[in-house]
């Protein structure tokens, strides 16, 4: 009676973290906790799941399991909650009260307090949860040595199925018991089973094995080329030629929506119409294409499919021709695009950045394959990518690929900050919908500083020191270079600014003061060749704005916002540092260096070592 779907780890790139030996092996419970070491494996009841599965019912046996878990590189734990003490673990309560009797599990010979003391005495940790259960979904994660972290504001049960295998448990029994636990506790009968996806390195290796040149590149190296996917952009073919369509901001897949039908083995007109409607329901404009020389057979991918060139790969041919397919797509609400000119693509871009794409340029052609879109539509991603590569090969295209990946993922940011002694967690934009604002072109690109200001146009991006962050990251140290950056920021739709404060004039910007006085020297950043007043005058002369802050620093948290085109606004009465990480990519900065410098700035200024990384 559950709703269940399979998703790949690729779809959770922004959330999955490496298991950390400092993280506790904890319960699947999604509520808040007094423990913050959440990057260990998740099992029902923590280590009670191991005892339960093995039929271990004694305190001595529980102690042995505690030591075993520690010996395998995890911090063992069980938990209670603030309302029911150690019986606040629903899994243990079900076990001790006999709710698993009919499944053949003997009850423990100890109560909740005795179990907790035994675990603690053997070197384990006792965790206390708080709040009410509000889980919406159960994640069953099969990606080895990876986990998800709980978020009390957006709760989910997290079951690391791979951990059952690590401890030699009966995996089917483990998963059935986990499902039964959720059911008996009245939890959501909705599951997402997370399976491994193909990694960028594996994609490169597979292509190289086919005789391709393939390299991994980061989004930072693609500054000015990657764009946000727009709902008015068509989901179109990877073809790099010119088109009668100008709405290029949608995802790119071989043959447009034919790629979805091909991957799923859908060969009927009715099935194609259903896919057309599905694509529209997921926020994209469905399309297929022809060209001016071959009409609707001008789509090379479809021509290969309909003529049986994919037969030996196990793909059944469509039961319709090119004209029938196009008419079906149009009838179901899709768009027909017509290409022109000859193929002169020089490279294949395989883009793995979710909700980003590249736009074709008929004068500098490239094939563009949005690999993330395959995952969005539940396709077999390896098959999708192999079919894309085979298409290029059969059409005589370039065997030269660039696999585009994020410079740094949110889990990597969390891990790096924790390594610097910070508390860091990932939060979803959906939990901050009342606070995240669309960036306003009237808003100043301003400092991350959370204090009050004489400027009220807070709807622009936030970077340390305002536009000084760009100069700092690029190693620009001259006034002329600063003026050029000021004009660049304006050309990209933002109001450039730097700031001072009412106590220190233009040296009231802590970031600039650190830079000017050499506090970044050991990080390899050359000092500016101008002082604070000269910098401010240069920015103003080039069309920028000078902002003046007031009051004392009382920031409690650092928000690192990765939601492109969105920002938070400062509140001097509830201060926070706001770092719009996406803006670093927009200006072609080294994102990793940008974030490290932002963290170092907070540390050197005595700010809070607590971060929330906001993801889409």
Contact 382, 10 (CB under 8 A): no
pLDDT at 170 over 80: yes
**Range list of β-strands (E), 53-124:** 75-81
- pLDDT > 70: percent of the chain: 100
Contact 153, 33 (CB under 8 A): no
Q: Which of 96, 67, 69 has the alpha carbon at shortest distance from 80?
A: 96
Which helix (DSSP H) or strand (DSSP E) does residue 70 occupy? Answer: helix 59-71
Q: How many Å apart are CA 289 and CA 277, to the nearest integer?
A: 17
What is the pLDDT averaged over residues 130-140?
Answer: 97
The distance in angstroms from the start CA to the end CA of the chain is 30
pLDDT at 11 over 90: no
Pairing, β 146-147 against β 17-18? antiparallel
Angle between helices 479-491 and 532-541 (to 10 degrees): 40
Structure tokens at 163: 């951990």
**Is 472 marked within a binding site?**
no
What is the pLDDT averaged over residues 292-317?
Answer: 96
Cα 295 to Cα 326, 327, 338, 502: the distances in Å are 10, 13, 8, 68
Q: Which of 89, 97, 50 has the alpha carbon at shortest distance from 72?
A: 50
**Is 509 marked within a binding site?**
yes
pTM exceeds 0.85, yes or no: no
Contact 203, 148 (CB under 8 A): no
Q: Which of 532, 407, 530 has the alpha carbon at shortest distance from 476?
A: 530
Planar angle of CA 6, 10, 11, nearest 5 degrees: 60
Angle between helices 322-331 and 269-281 (to 10 degrees): 40
**Is 447 marked within a binding site?**
yes
Contact 107, 153 (CB under 8 A): no
Give the model's confidence band at 478: pLDDT under 50 very low, under 70 low, under 90 confident, else very high: very high
Give the pLDDT of residue 419.
87
**Is 499 marked within a binding site?**
yes
Contact 22, 199 (CB under 8 A): no
Burial of 211 (0-12, 13-18, 19+ CB in 10 A): exposed
pLDDT tens digits, residue range 338-386? 999 999 999 999 999 988 999 999 999 999 999 999 989 989 999 999 9
Give the pLDDT of residue 539.
98
pLDDT at 224 over 80: no
Contact 423, 612 (CB under 8 A): no
> What is the residue whose two structure tokens read 């709807």?
459
- pLDDT > 90: percent of the chain: 89
Alpha-helix residue ranges (DSSP H) falling in 185-321: 200-209, 258-264, 269-281, 300-306
Contact 180, 100 (CB under 8 A): yes
- Helix then strand then coil, in percent of the chain rounded to 5, is 35, 20, 45
Contact 567, 461 (CB under 8 A): yes
Q: Tell me the pLDDT of the chain averaged across its residues.
A: 95
Alpha-helix residue ranges (DSSP H) falling in 395-531: 410-419, 468-474, 479-491, 510-516
**Is 289 marked within a binding site?**
yes
Give the pLDDT of residue 222.
80
pLDDT tens digits, residue range 429-471? 988 989 999 999 999 999 999 999 999 999 999 999 999 999 9
> What is the residue whose two structure tokens read 């369509």?
245
Beta bridge partners of 77: 125
**Exposure b/e, 117-126, CB count within 10 A at least 16 = b:** ebbeebebbb
Give the pLDDT of residue 322.
97
């Amino acid at each position: 009676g559950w709703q269940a779907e399979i998703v790949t780890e690729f779809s959770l790139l922004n959330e999955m973290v490496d298991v950390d030996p400092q993280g506790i092996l904890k319960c699947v419970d999604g509520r808040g906790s007094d423990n913050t070491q959440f990057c260990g494996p998740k099992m029902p009841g923590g280590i009670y799941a191991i005892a339960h599965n093995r039929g271990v019912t004694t305190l001595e046996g529980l102690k042995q399991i505690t030591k075993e878990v520690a010996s395998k590189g995890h911090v063992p734990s069980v938990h209670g909650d603030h309302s029911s003490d150690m019986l606040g673990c629903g899994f243990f309560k079900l076990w001790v009260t006999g709710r698993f009797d009919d499944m053949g599990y003997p009850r423990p010979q100890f109560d909740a307090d005795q179990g907790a003391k035994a675990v603690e005495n053997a070197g384990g940790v006792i965790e206390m949860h708080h709040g009410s259960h509000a889980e919406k979904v159960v994640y069953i994660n099969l990606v080895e040595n990876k986990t998800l972290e709980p978020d009390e504001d957006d709760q989910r049960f997290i079951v690391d199925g791979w951990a059952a295998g690590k401890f030699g448990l009966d995996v089917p029994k483990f998963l059935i018991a986990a499902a039964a636990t959720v059911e008996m506790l009245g939890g959501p009968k909705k599951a997402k089973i997370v399976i491994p996806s193909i990694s960028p390195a594996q994609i490169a290796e597979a292509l190289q094995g086919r005789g391709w040149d393939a390299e991994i590149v980061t989004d930072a190296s693609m500054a000015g080329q990657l764009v946000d996917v727009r709902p008015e952009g068509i989901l179109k073919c990877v073809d790099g030629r010119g088109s009668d369509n100008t709405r290029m901001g949608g995802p790119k897949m071989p043959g447009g929506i034919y790629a979805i039908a091909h991957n799923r083995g859908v060969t009927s007109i009715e099935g194609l119409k259903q896919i057309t409607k599905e694509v529209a329901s997921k926020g994209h404009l469905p399309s297929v294409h022809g060209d001016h020389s071959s009409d609707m057979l001008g789509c090379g991918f479809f021509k290969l499919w309909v003529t049986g060139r994919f037969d030996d790969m196990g793909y059944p041919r469509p039961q319709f021709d090119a004209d029938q397919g196009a008419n079906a797509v149009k009838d179901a609400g899709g768009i027909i695009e017509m290409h022109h000119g000859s193929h002169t693509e020089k490279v294949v871009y395989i883009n793995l950045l979710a909700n980003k794409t590249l736009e074709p340029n008929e004068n500098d052609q490239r094939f563009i394959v949005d690999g993330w879109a395959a995952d969005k539509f539940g396709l077999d991603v390896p098959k999708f990518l192999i079919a894309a590569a085979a298409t290029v090969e059969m059409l005589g295209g370039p065997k030269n690929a660039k696999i585009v990946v994020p410079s740094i993922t949110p889990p990597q940011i969390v891990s790096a900050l924790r390594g610097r002694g910070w508390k860091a967690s990932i939060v979803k934009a959906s939990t901050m919908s009342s606070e995240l604002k669309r960036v306003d072109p009237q808003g100043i690109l301003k400092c991350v500083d959370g204090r009050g200001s004489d400027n009220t146009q807070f709807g622009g991006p936030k970077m340390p020191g305002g536009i000084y962050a760009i100069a700092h990251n690029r190693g620009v140290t001259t006034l002329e270079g600063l003026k050029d950056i000021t004009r660049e920021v304006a050309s990209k739709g933002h109001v450039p600014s730097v700031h001072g404060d009412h106590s220190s004039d233009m040296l009231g910007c802590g970031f600039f003061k650190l830079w000017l006085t050499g506090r970044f020297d050991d990080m390899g950043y050359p000092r500016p060749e101008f002082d604070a007043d000269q910098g401010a005058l240069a920015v103003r002369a080039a069309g920028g704005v000078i902002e003046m802050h007031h009051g004392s620093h009382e920031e409690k948290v650092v928000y690192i916002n990765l939601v492109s085109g969105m920002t938070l606004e400062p509140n001097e009465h509830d201060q926070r540092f706001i770092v719009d990480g996406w803006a670093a990519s927009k200006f072609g900065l080294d994102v990793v260096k940008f974030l490290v410098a932002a963290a170092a700035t907070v540390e050197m200024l005595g700010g809070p070592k607590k971060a929330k990384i906001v993801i889409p």
